[in-house]
Amino acid sequence: MKKIDFIYPFTGWIGLDLPNCFASLHMFMQKIEGNDEYECKAKNGQKCDGCGNCKNTLRGQHERFWFTFDTVSGRTATITGWENTNTDIFNEVYNTDDSLDFLMGYNGYSYEKYTDKSVFNKKIIETIDKNTPVLVRTKIDENIAYPQQNEFSIIIGYDDEKFIIPDTINPKIELNIENIEQIYIITDKIKQKYNNIDVLKRLKHIMETNRKNGEWDKYIDAFSKYWDKSQNLDIEQLKQKFWFLHRGMIWNCHNFSEASGIWDELKKFEKFKPALDRMFVACDLSHTHQWQGMSLWTTRDWSKKFYNEVEWGMFENAIQVLKLVKEDDEVIYQSIYEILAINN
């Protein structure tokens, strides 16, 4: 039996996806330390005064790494497809081997990938014995919907009966050869293969794909022409439309703007500052506008249908919010485009 001392947390805002697990693994590899003994009014039941002391905790640092890696992978630049679907570009970047390879290269790790289950046991034990955790891709429980699906995990030990996962993973998910699909083993620290300009190129490609495919336009079209297309919908059909709107407002802009590992480095260059300033304003506005969109779902009485004029007003509010979110995305895209143009 062997168990690595692994103290690093995982965010509960999303399931065990690649950026979430990679952030914890990276903290272990870099031996990140945190201060969990700190002054905090909120801990004592008082109102938070924004002191920022919690940022130096392990959880606070994990959150910053998660924001960064979530954006480096490209997920925060994607849009949830209308009717709560995954777009092609989302499937291209979310939890894919391409994104894993990019994250490894961005952080300067060499690694090995194994898909043959017959070697899993041997490779995992060999790696744990070297005091290195193993990143694994697991079978997805189709009964759990995104974003709470668990597709990755970390193995930190083994005994005669099972593999051991970190105590900080909750709820506990038992791992065995049958539910492990692939394993990824970090083998060395190498020169960084991808930098923040490469990240911006990746984000630009994703956002260009969103624009080309008119992802926000599909939302706007769904709420357009109320009198022609929607006045005869029953309450359940109306409810479903606004639920889809709610699911589209998932604040990717928040993780995007808080990806300090990217933006703090780019801020060091004065030539990028005007574009970055505009981008951060647009991210803040997008966050507010998406709250507006969510409120159309969360604040109304869904037990009954109102007069057509009221329902029409709800649709018009949805259209106005969606147009604002689309405009925010366009400012963010143009800012990234400008930074890349300046860099060339």
Q: What is the pLDDT of residues 240-251, one digit of tens each?
A: 999 999 999 887
- Res 155 pLDDT > 70: yes
Q: Which of 55-59, 138-142, 196-200 has the highest mean pLDDT?
A: 196-200
CA–CA distance, 134 with 127 (Å, rounded to integer): 7
- Res 83 pLDDT > 90: yes
* Cβ(151)–Cβ(17) below 8 Å: yes
| 251/164: higher pLDDT | 164
Q: What is the reported pLDDT for 43?
A: 67
Residue with tokens 């992802």: 215
Q: Which helix (H) or strand (E) holds 297?
A: helix 273-298
Average pLDDT over residues 211-228: 97
Tens of pLDDT, residues 255-308? 899 999 999 999 999 999 999 999 999 999 999 999 999 999 999 999 999 999
Average pLDDT over residues 153-169: 94
Average pLDDT over residues 124-131: 97
- Res 237 pLDDT > 70: yes
- Helices (H), ranges, 139-234: 196-212, 215-223, 226-229
Residue 7's pLDDT band (cuts 50, 70, 90): very high
Annotation: CATH topology of 2-189: Cathepsin B; Chain A (3.90.70)
Angle between helices 58-72 and 196-212 (to 10 degrees): 60
- Res 86 pLDDT > 90: yes
Residue 48's pLDDT band (cuts 50, 70, 90): confident
Q: What are φ and ψ of residue 146, in 5° steps?
A: -60, 140
Q: What is the reported pLDDT for 37?
A: 77
Q: What is the reported pLDDT for 319?
A: 98
User: Domain limits of the chain?
Assistant: 2-189, 196-343
Average pLDDT over residues 129-139: 97
Average pLDDT over residues 23-43: 87
Question: Which has the minimum average pLDDT: 8-22, 189-203, 249-263, 294-308?
Answer: 249-263
| 210/47: higher pLDDT | 210
Residue 282, C-beta contacts closer than 8 angstroms, at least 6 positions apart: 253, 328, 329, 331, 332, 335
Provide, rounded to the nearest whole percent, the portion of the chain with pLDDT above 70.
Answer: 100
Query: Considering the entire predicted model, what is its pTM?
Result: 0.93
CA–CA distance, 77 with 253 (Å, rounded to integer): 8
CA–CA distance, 212 with 220 (Å, rounded to integer): 15
Mean pLDDT, the chain, rounded, equals 94
CA-nearest of 61, 106, 118 to 265 is: 106
CA–CA distance, 113 with 183 (Å, rounded to integer): 6
Q: What is the reported pLDDT for 173?
A: 81
